Amino acid sequence: MAAVEAAAQVDMRPSESLAARYRRIRAQTLSLCASLEPEDFVVQSMPEASPVKWHLAHTTWFFEQFLLRTRLHGYRPFRPKFEYLFNSYYDTLGVMHARAERGMLTRPTVKEINEYREHVDAHMLDLIAKSEDDERIESLTVLGLHHEQQHQELLLTDLKHLFSCNPLLPAYRTRPLQPCRAPGTLRFHCFEGGVREIGANGKRFCFDNETPRHRVYVEPFALADRLIVNAEYREFIRDGGYRRPEFWLADGWALVKRDGWTRPLYWDESLEAEFTLYGLEPLQPGAPVCHLSFYEADAFARWAGARLPTEAEWEIAAATLPVQGHFLEDGQLHPRNAPDSPGLKQVFGYAWEWTASPYVPYPGFRPLSGALGEYNGKFMCNQIVLRGGSCATPGDHIRATYRNFFYPHARWQFAGVRLARDY
């Protein structure tokens, strides 16, 4: 997921102090682990995912590396070797443990990682108390908290993939998954073309890949009023969608043939059940389809006689809407029904929406100096932009200008489809 630099004005709940926000977000990460057993923290199910323990340590490393080591006089690192173990991809900071081998780290123990978090939290709260008027420390701390919120979602999606690989199909959540009703008829809302502005203006927190705000020209377009649901995607499958190359981009069709794709990740062969964070559940026809790759989303759109929206079209449509949806804090952890309301629905907090846009820099983009400049700029190649957030995204983390990005073959995130058309 993207992450980088805070803008001048930080984004917090009304009257929430920086220290209170720090405590809240750090505690929320630990709360996501409350139902786990020690064995759940260690295993890595694929190179793209990370063990829960690594997420807990890396988010802590971020505060230690970018704040405590450089901003708190006399600070002594918890364990010097952690600088190597829990670096993610900051090559300018030195060598790091191989990403695909994070699951080999049986040590340090979960207990030691929790002690590491406590150590860093105590010193971070001390730094915050001593630096109330230091805008740079505040900015870096808010950045670190948004980085942690990104890892809260990754922790859940990585854990879901891990549990899906277990023949016992364990459930992360034990209470019943709420049923979804049938959605309304899919309708398209039209938007005028012309010159528009997209991107963040810097008045609130943003990552650097959301800037600079700039002008784009769009032709008139239309967006579907809701996300595509399981029943509609199942029609695509039953109509031979995974056997008909005319719907697929060449790279996607190569993956279908090479890896034997016949359905979305986590659906069973009967097309009647899917693995969720609640365990194996009956497939809910009215729930938004998710865990699709870009190639699958694009193929479905072609089959449906439509296309995926560009990220500019998506942002233009979303910019005037309130950021409301079913977020991580709701505890649902699975995409829900569209609300009964006119206009565009499920824009925020249901499933990430694949766009047709490659993840490239905006005109005038300049990466940050130093190690934080690695967070976004060097990934602006061969990836696709997603918008809107998901049911696992923290609610105060998302906004209309937010640019998520993944490789087009990625399937383990809560990613779905909203259709677009020309008009």
Q: Average pLDDT for consecutive 10-residue bins of the chain (423 residues)?
A: 33 79 98 97 98 98 97 95 96 95 97 98 97 93 97 98 98 91 94 98 91 97 98 98 98 98 98 98 97 99 98 97 95 92 95 98 89 89 98 97 98 98 95
- Please tell me the distance from the alpha carbon of residue 238 to that of residue 223, in angstroms, as a whole number: 25
The tokens describing 37, both together, are 């057993």
CA distances from 296 to 164, 386, 410 (A): 20, 14, 10
Whole-number pLDDT of residue 203: 84
Whole-number pLDDT of residue 199: 98
Angle at 67 between CA 43 and CA 121, to 5 degrees: 60
3-class secondary structure, 64 = helix
CA distances from 179 to 116, 182, 225, 311, 376 (A): 40, 10, 21, 31, 38
Measured in whole angstroms, the distance separating CA 326 from the mean position of its chain's CA atoms is 14
Backbone dihedral angles phi then psi of residue 17, each to the nearest 5 degrees = -75, 165
3-class secondary structure, 43 = coil
Residue 99: which region, alpha, beta or left (left: phi > 0; alpha: psi -120 to 50)? alpha
The tokens describing 234, both together, are 């199942």
Residue 346: which region, alpha, beta or left (left: phi > 0; alpha: psi -120 to 50)? left
The pairs formed by 218-221 with CB atoms below 8 angstroms and a separation of 24 or more are 218/191, 218/193, 218/194, 218/310, 218/312, 218/313, 218/316, 219/193, 219/422, 220/190, 220/191, 220/192, 220/193, 220/422, 220/423, 221/190, 221/191, 221/193, 221/309, 221/313, 221/420, 221/421, 221/422, 221/423
Whole-number pLDDT of residue 13: 67
3-class secondary structure, 118 = helix
Name the strand (E) or helix (H) holding 256: helix 250-259
Backbone dihedral angles phi then psi of residue 278, each to the nearest 5 degrees = -100, 10
Cis before 176 (ω within 30): no
What is the distance in angstroms between the CA of the first residue and the CA of the last residue of the chain?
33
pTM to 2 decimal places: 0.95
